[in-house]
Structure 1
């Protein structure tokens, strides 16, 4: 017992020593791991700093690339404007359900089917057509991918609207086959709630409502009363021009060349508007009478070319105005108001004798206000105006009669549509080749758009392209049309001036210097 008790005592004495040794060893291991953790944390911090620096460098390079790309595009657009080239943008729509062509929806877009995607978005300047027979790349000023929203399209259109208030005509037209998205691009979705007029912007709004909204915003920044807007809406249906705002939309209208060389249709209804809601209300009214019918290709196939014209009437600078009478001239031109201090003014009585009449201060003040109003009205009547046009064109789609399955009246409509689009291509071909004769009068469409196509307007063509294999012929024709349009060089766009400046005649237009005063 004593021996075992001694062993237990010795073990009891060794336990604190062993515990202290274990604690010391644990502290040493913990300190080692702590140093390793701090080292790793320091390395992680360094790596994080390096990653942040690389990210910052990447952001700087990306921003610089974006600025340089934008600057290059601005310089390119300036060069195009100086040459008078037609700007061409391409928009590739996504694959839709009706592209399946009555096949199983599970096969939509599958290789080897008629809905296979053969038109591809490459980058923001190129579209590629890749099939067993074709492998072509088409380059344009801007290309929109199938995922890009309506806002992206309008961002490229917006700078052209500033030119409208600077005195330049602007024309934006959508070109493409039936069902390629032209009306969606220009107006918005076919859902009724999107077409309905609204004071507030809608994400699916097309170019027409967005351009109208932007135009009124720009006018609000100008002096009050310096700009007014008028709108007219017509369609070219079966080679006839029809007024969609008229009570008789079936009445035909003829183009007339004015004294300034500008084409106009004086019989077309033109409405004054002061906000976006009123414009879109009129557009909605016109769309109710626009020709539409369902085909095997598209449920809402437009059977006419829609042209919405916003005419901006701007007050010309004061140096264009003709000489007007002053208030002193008006007061001395037989108004019979007498002096301004309330003195008696002689007037003729019944027998021709001079009689005196006294005016009260209130009467004199009212007469002076009347004189000022007369002078302002006379100045407004004499001040010339500048009329610029924004033409927004939703062309009817070209279509293959065999594919669309149209018959009867629809077949006749398709024939006129294809003829007018062919005439448009012929006009662009003649302009690109600088022919002496340009066949504008081969179609009412080209005749109506002669000023815009021929160089009197900044013109943007929006190519709308379907991606599916079943439309490959129409897609190639559309893309080729855009290539021909890019080759047209029309010279610098002409700035509009008041018509009175061009027509003015008489002593004020032929003022000769006085030789005597000149010699002095």
Structure 2
């Protein structure tokens, strides 16, 4: 038998079974012996009976013969029983011999089993000591890893802070990238059941690496793009706005801000900027909707920051325009025939004098104006996207703030007392009117700003929120006729935007801002002293790989633009508010937009 197998239980059971069999056979033997004795007794009785019968009646020969026959039968039975008894005795002797050997074999196997158990016990004790040592090492490594993780988080945060400081000092354009989830329409003409499967046009090729890197993986190459922030497909609208929110504080500190969404058709630009603006149940006066975009969240945050300031020291105006077929359309004007020209001042400031602007007091007012403009914005269905935007949307929130008192100090009211801003522009605070001259623009409740002592000059800063039209491949979108002309103008303006960034990155002497209305309108934001944030929106699907690479390349080119330090807006002669510089407004605009509906 093979060693190492514990057969103790088997032999114990076998011994018990054999003992039971022996006991049963012993009982059988006793029973047979009893029966044999009874038979012998009966035989003796029969012999006596035969003798008596012979003596009494010798004539009963037939009975004697049958008696003899019976005797022979009994003898045969006795012989048979005797043979069985002998067989049982032989079996019993065999079992007894086996039972004698069982204890020796049991002792032998027990000794071997004890040796195996002892050997395994020693191995277990050795492994247990090794396990204890390993557990101690793992505990120490976990503590070290936790310490390193905390240090890494601190260093990462410190690096981000230093990077932000560096970006602030260098004044570079900030570029963020958002990867949208894979959608059903990414399949194109394929079965929606193949969504995301390898080898299909809807296969995911744009991958989120970390919060600063995105990788475009194709059969030919893997290319990694680095930006200030990369958002994965699972990150929410609130995660996007958390990166935008700090810039709004700079707006009230006197800096111009521009946030634009760039990407192909259907990549999520409008969703990122506006969110659930077409939801019938959406009401911006209530708490923010989870799908609310950058524009309503920025307006809400801006009003929150203003509420923390001194009362009646800040006013906000809103304008909404679109650039359609390289023409500016005022989406808040009732007269679409007005031609709008862009004016560029000597200091590089860009303005559209004929553009309508409305004063707003709440985020609800802002979104009502935006939604009014969206109802007239040019949209059409293409093979790529059902609600493709055919124009560039620009929402501008202009903040008019009262300048601090040190900007409006004068020396004995002398008109020769001039102050200069950081760009060398001069203004005379002795002739600067206070905000009481805005009575033709703001409501009577707003004229209380004039009663604030030492607040004469004003500062105008603007927040430009741009939802660019999507770049698209004409062959893929399937547009024809007027839509083809729209697509041509969209691609031309976006190409001009890329050319402007290329010229700025290469420090060319001439930057082609005026090639299109879009680049001309955004001249002071792209190449001026505004803080610019570009939100790249890309689709992860294989069928849009060309457009995605173009969009990611655009972001890389934008990051290469190096501008001077971002400058604060200071009051100047051109920025002071008086009766000659304020555009007259109709009575309908004196207290806000006349077409704002009641909240539902």
The alignment's TM-score, normalised by the length of structure 2, stands at 0.65
Residue of structure 2 aligned with 1:67, choices 154, 160, 175: 154
Structure 1 stretch displaced more, 286-295 or 47-56: 47-56
How far 1:69 moved relative to its partner?
1.6
Residue 527 of structure 2 aligns to a residue whose secondary structure is helix
Gaps of 5+ in 1: 1-46, 327-373, 505-520
1:410 is aligned, of 448, 459, 483, to 483
Q: State the partner residue of 2:418.
A: none
Task: Please give the alpha-carbon distance, in whole angstroms, between the structure 1 residues aligned to 2:481 and 2:575.
Answer: 50
Using the TM superposition, give the Cα deviation of residue 323 of structure 1 relative to its aligned residue in structure 2, in angstroms.
4.9
Q: Which has the larger radius of gyration?
A: 2
Q: 1:208 to 1:376 in 2, by over 3 A?
A: closer
Alignment correspondent of 2:311? 224
Alignment of 1:291 onto 2:378? yes
Q: Give yes or no for the alignment of 1:157 onto 2:230.
A: no
Q: How does 1:7-18 map to 2 (within 5 A)?
A: none
Determine whether 1:88 maps to 2:175: yes
Work out whether residues 408 and 454 of structure 2, in 8 Å CA contact, stay in contact via their aligned partners in 1.
no
Name the counterpart of 2:501: 428
**TM-score where L is the length of structure 1:** 0.74
1:249 counterpart (326, 336, 341): 336
1:193 is paired with a residue whose SS is coil
CA distance in 2, matches of 1:464, 1:113: 22
Give 1:440-479 correspondences, 5 Å limit: 440-479=513-552
> What SS class does the counterpart of residue 452 from structure 1 fall into?
helix
Question: Is the aligned partner of 1:304 residue 2:377?
Answer: no
| Offset of residue 260 of structure 1 | 4.9
Aligned to 1:356: none
Contact 2:529 2:567 in 1 (8 A): yes
Query: Relative to structure 2, which stretch is displaced further, 289-298 or 242-251?
Result: 242-251
How many residue pairs align between the two structures?
414
CA contact 2:204–2:541 (8 Å) conserved in 1 = yes
Matched residues in 2 for 1:139 and 1:73: separation? 14
With over 3 angstroms needed to count, the CA separation of the structure-2 counterparts of 1:381 and 1:294, relative to structure 1, is: farther
**1:126-174 C-alpha deviation (Å, 9 max, x unpaired):** 1111111231111111100000111111111111111111111010100
The CA distance in 2 between the partners of 1:52 and 1:213, in whole Å, is 48
SS of residue matched to 1:426: helix
Q: CA RMSD in A?
A: 2.9
Give the CA deviation at 1:53.
9.1
Q: 1:379 to 1:221 in 2, by over 3 A?
A: closer
- 1:243-282 correspondence runs (5 A): 243-258=330-345, 260-282=347-369
**Paired residues of 1:296 and 1:404 also in contact (CA < 8 A):** yes
| Alignment match, 2:471 | 398
- Counterpart in 1 of 2:212? 125
Q: Distance in 1 between matches of 2:448 and 2:291?
A: 48
Deviation at 1:196, TM superposition (A): 4.9
Distance in 2, Cα, partners of 1:195 & 1:379: 38
The separation in 2 between residues aligned to 1:207 and 1:487, in whole angstroms, is 25
Corresponding residue SS for 1:242: strand
Which of 95, 103, 111 aligns to 2:198? It is 111
Of 257-266 and 397-406, more deviation after overlay is shown by 257-266
Partner of residue 167 from structure 1, selected from 254, 260, 277: 254
Q: Distance in 2 between matches of 1:466 and 1:250?
A: 37
1:251 Cα deviation after fit: 2.8
> For each residue in 1:226-272, what CA deviation from the matched residue of structure 2 results, as whole angstroms up to 9, or x when unmatched?
11111111111110111111112353211112465411111111111
Aligned to 1:512: none
Q: Residues 55 and 288 (structure 1 numbering): CA distance in 2 closer, same or farther, change over 3 Å?
A: farther
Match of 1:141 in 2: 228
Q: Residue 458 of structure 2 contacts residue 576 of structure 2 at CA under 8 Å; is this kept in 1?
A: no
Distance 2:239 2:167 in 1: 21
**Partner of residue 480, structure 1:** 553
Equivalents in 2 of 1:69, 1:250: separation in Å? Answer: 54
Shift of 1:81: 2.0
